[in-house]
Amino acid sequence: MQKWLLRIGAVVALGLVLAFALGKLLPHWRTSSSDIEVDISDQDAIESGKYIARTADCVACHTTLDGKDYAGGLPMLTPLGAIYSTNITPDPDTGIGNYTFDDFKNAVKHGVRKDNSALYPAMPYPSYQIMPDDDIAALYAYFMSAVEPVNQPNRDSDLPPVLSWRWPLAYWQTLFASGRSFEPETDDEPLARGQYLIEGPGHCGSCHTERGVGFQEVALSNSGSEAFLAGATIDGWRAKSLRGEHGGLGTWEADELSEFFRTGRTDTSAAFGAMADVVEHSTQYMTDADIDAMSHYLKSLSPAAGKETAPDSKEDVTTQKLLDGDYDSRGAILYAEYCQVCHRADGKGVARIFPALDGNSAVYSTDADSVLQITLNGGRMPDTSHDRMAFTMPEFINLSDHDVAEVVNYVRNSWTNEASEVDVNDVVKMRDFLNKKPKTATEFPPDLGVSAAAQGEPRE
């Protein structure tokens, strides 16, 4: 073998050893110790921590469909295999029972485990890192004292080697999650509170901000860029833009947003998919003041760069055609057979029961993932204490892929809606994706047991 090859080999090997060693060291520099003494039996702290856990929606990811609260095990799909959320109950063997407050804080805010290895950024520590230590202390008291310990070992990821190694993640953290603190955009206290909840514990950007080449959120706050909360596609859902353009929240009033956070629906819309889980587990429990703060902050965001604030106005000719039985396409015949009884000829649905399709950005958004997924798979609104019933959309999985494309194109381009056409391959891909995707709670019917409803049991 030639000498230069050997030399290169040696340099590469040395480089790898150094990279590994540095990767092992990097997390140490992220962590910090504090002199906060947490009294985990302090009832006020526990109560406060319980509320903070709601605002951070810890339960959504750290609990499986039929599992115990916070015992982990929920798969999160990546193109290369699933990773599983961890047990964050205070069980000393399999959970976080041996975590000190500093260990807990370093995990939640800095993404570093007790053993000093890096956490996958599926855990939204880049968002959580702006949370004040006092809030983390309350959260710690809640988890240590009020969460039932569950002995359930964590699962290893299904990722292939390299990605399943922890030390390279330290570099990811250095590149994409360096230190950050909360910087209010305004002196207005409620607005700043809204900004904090959206940017920090609410970790809205985890779904609603586009991810970059390293899977990092391209902006963690509004001051960073107009890409913050400008919409992204995740888990086969289009998480819409929350900025001020028409396809974002331009047509929403702050009051409507608050109603949506509180009850999971408005007269024209309903939370579905991952957002239904968010309302069900998190926002419905938030105080009116916090909810209004979030709504007003979101309404203060400028339109995303280059996006229209008002749509081209289009005249509705669909309603009259449907009323007249003038079916001008295969999509119209399918709509009349399968959709019209609930969503109505005018596409306006029924207030708080069946969401409108006309003027609904989930229907006409450029990326049709959401409307494809919910058409094939169905889903349900969040179940909250505000409404007596939570309604479902049934699956239309038995339709042909061609017909799903036809009817989706029909609703995307009827009434005042205008959107690009999907083709049959988009349906094929979504069907294939859904075959692999684990089911979530809002893909199942609500608990309508007469005893539950009539006895007024809490619907958590």
**Of 122-151, which residues contact other proteins (CB under 8 A)?**
none
Q: What are phi and psi of 232, to 5 degrees?
A: -160, 170
CB of 107 to other proteins, least distance (A): 24
Q: Of residues 289, 350, 385, 457, which one binds other proteins by CB under 8 A?
A: 350
Q: Of residues 32, 420, 438, 460, which one binds other proteins by CB under 8 A?
A: 420
Contact 112, 181 (CB under 8 A): no
CB of 372 to other proteins, least distance (A): 8
Q: What are phi and psi of 369, to 5 degrees?
A: -50, -45
Can residue 82 be called a binding residue for other proteins (CB under 8 A)?
no
Contact 119, 157 (CB under 8 A): no
Identity at 410, one-letter amino acid code: Y
The helix, strand and coil proportions of the chain, stated in percent and rounded to the nearest 5, come to: 45, 5, 50
CB of 338 to other proteins, least distance (A): 7
Task: Closer to other proteins by CB, 137 or 408: give it.
Answer: 408
Helix H or strand E segment including 232: strand 232-234
Applying CB under 8 A, the span of 89-97, 142-150, 254-262, 333-341 interacting with other proteins comes to: 333-341
Positions 237 through 256 that interact with other proteins (CB under 8 A): none
> What is the size of the binding site for other proteins (CB under 8 A)?
75
Can residue 23 be called a binding residue for other proteins (CB under 8 A)?
no
Q: Of residues 11, 12, 18, 175, which one binds other proteins by CB under 8 A?
A: 175
Q: What residues have CB less than 8 Å from 341, skipping those under 6 apart?
A: none
CB of 25 to other proteins, least distance (A): 18
Concatenating the DSSP letter of every residue in 19-49 gives HHHHHHHHHHHH-----PPP-TT-HHHHHHH
Can residue 333 be called a binding residue for other proteins (CB under 8 A)?
yes
DSSP secondary structure letter of residue 366: S
Q: What are phi and psi of 384, to 5 degrees?
A: -125, 170
Contact 201, 52 (CB under 8 A): yes
Can residue 427 be called a binding residue for other proteins (CB under 8 A)?
yes
Can residue 118 be called a binding residue for other proteins (CB under 8 A)?
no
Positions 265 through 324 that interact with other proteins (CB under 8 A): 323
* C-alpha–C-alpha distance, residues 11 and 409, integer Å: 57
Q: Of residues 92, 153, 394, 438, which one binds other proteins by CB under 8 A?
A: 394
Tokens of 238: 């289009």
CB of 131 to other proteins, least distance (A): 28
Positions 373 through 392 that interact with other proteins (CB under 8 A): 377-380, 387-389, 391-392
| CA neighbor of 221 nearest in space, from 233, 230, 232, 234 | 230
Positions 353 through 372 that interact with other proteins (CB under 8 A): 353-354, 366-369
Q: Of residues 59, 334, 362, 363, which one binds other proteins by CB under 8 A?
A: 334
Can residue 170 be called a binding residue for other proteins (CB under 8 A)?
no
Q: Of residues 149, 236, 303, 382, which one binds other proteins by CB under 8 A?
A: 236
Task: Closer to other proteins by CB, 55 or 414: give it.
Answer: 414
Contact 87, 72 (CB under 8 A): yes
Q: Of residues 20, 76, 399, 440, which one binds other proteins by CB under 8 A?
A: 399
CB of 410 to other proteins, least distance (A): 12
**Cα 140-145-150 angle, rounded to 5 deg:** 100
